[in-house]
Amino acid sequence: MTDARQGHFLTRPATIRRLWWIFSAVLAATVLGQLVIYVKGYFTVDGWFGFGAVFGFLSCLLMVLFAKALGVLLKRPRDYYQQQERNDDA
């Protein structure tokens, strides 16, 4: 399965391109599937066509952007707390 020149088949660009096509087809199928399968909405909006897809995508987008913004405030170097101890020792 592993080829010395091309690496593992899962890491080859051709495979990755193919996986993206398959993934896109599955994504489309889950949305179009709602044409034939009834999705029960408990609060009206969640029964709308493609609600799960849009809601899932937008929620993740918001969470990533929020985490990114929060990271600016909260991220510190990995040895942040050890630095304090070193300063105390010095």
Partner 1 sequence: MPEWMSPALIMLAAALAIGPARGHLRTALVLGAPLLTLWAVWQVPDGVQDTLRFMSYQIEPVEGSPLRRLFATIFALMAFVGGLFAFRLARWHELAAAYAYAAGAIGVSFAGDLITLFLYWELMALFSTVVVWCGGTAASRAAGIRYAILHLLGGVMLKVGIEGIVVSTGSIQITPMLAQDFNSAMVLCGILINAAAPPLSAWLADAYPESSPTGSVFLSAFTTKTAVLALILLFPGEPLLVGVGLFMVMYGIIYALLENDIRRILAYSIVNQVGFMVCAVGIGTQLALNGAAAHAFAHIIYKALLFMSAGVVIYRTGRNKCTELGGLFQTMPLTTVCCIVGALSISSFPLTSGFTTKSLISQAAAYEGMATVYLLLTAASAGVFLHAGIKFPWFVFFQRDSGLRPKDAPWNMALAMLIFAALCILLGVYPQWLYALLPYPMEYQAYSAGKVLFYLQLLLFSGLAFFLLLPLMKRTDTLSLDVDWLWRRALPAALGWLGRRADALQGPAGRLLQWLRGVFTHLAVHYLGQPHTADSEERGLFARSWPIGTTALWIAILLSAYVLVYYL
Q: For binding to partner 1 (CB under 8 A), which residues are involved? A: 2, 7-8, 10-11, 23, 26-27, 30-31, 33-34, 37-40, 42-43, 46, 50-57, 59-61, 63-68, 70-71, 73-78, 80-81, 84-85, 88-89
Q: How many CB atoms lie within 10 A of CB 50?
A: 13
**Which residues 6+ apart lie within 8 Å of 55 measured at CB?**
46
Name the minimum Å distance from CB 85 to partner 1: 5
Using CA atoms, how far apart are residues 73 and 75, in angstroms rounded to an integer? 6
Name the minimum Å distance from CB 17 to partner 1: 13
